[in-house]
Homo-oligomer: A and B are copies of this chain.
């Protein structure tokens, strides 16, 4: 039979993208053939070309669909309302929200795909906005928190690295390199511990010396 009846019609475009994300995240772009995508969807290769002009177009459609990410929303928070108990509940909320979105199967596959293909993308901004998510944006958040007296003023870009670095490391350990379903219980416990440690390290009222920062190696 050629075209399927309305009854058995499926959203083939969506199925192609789902299968491609799965396969690209496992085998990489070059390691995944159109043949294999077609087999996973259950159609012939030529049917893929009805929906996308090329294999690269499938990859680009995935970037379009999944690229922007959800971390933007987090920075548009009502700081006044959330800073009542100090910065820790706010930062814990942000950290957990990020991990919640990172822990979805779709996002896990997407970041695996990006890790494999990212350095080869000619859109270098993509990796920065995905892996090193919102570093500048976070710097601005810390600047704002500093202005409100919620954290000690200092090198806000350093704060962004101190906050996001361990987050990135835990993301890699628990959500990218680990196999099987992530242990979210253990993960959130570690995330909370990190947020607490970070907040203590930027607490108001402790005069952190900065003289050794500008030293060079001897």
Say whether A166 contacts B161, CB under 8 Å. Answer: yes
**A143 within 8 A of partner (CB):** no
> Which residues of chain A from 168 to 185 have any CB-CB distance to chain B below 8 Å in the complex?
168-170, 172-173, 176-177, 179
**A3 within 8 A of partner (CB):** no
**A118 within 8 A of partner (CB):** yes
This chain: copies in complex: 2
Q: Which residues of B contact A192 (CB under 8 A)?
A: 212-215
Query: Of B115, B189, B198, which is within 8 A of A116 by CB?
Result: B115
A-side binding surface: helix, strand, loop or mixed? helix
Do A169 and B161 contact each other (CB < 8 Å), given the known contacts A116-B28, A155-B193, A212-B88?
Answer: yes
Q: How far is the CA of A102 from the CA of B31 in the complex (A)?
A: 28
Min CB distance, A27 to chain B, in Å? 7
Say whether A131 contacts B177, CB under 8 Å. Answer: yes
Q: Which residues of B contact A188 (CB under 8 A)?
A: 216-217
**A119 within 8 A of partner (CB):** yes
Q: Which residues of B contact A84 (CB under 8 A)?
A: none
Say whether A190 contacts B172, CB under 8 Å. Answer: no
**A40 within 8 A of partner (CB):** no
Q: Which residues of B contact A213 (CB under 8 A)?
A: 189, 192-193, 196
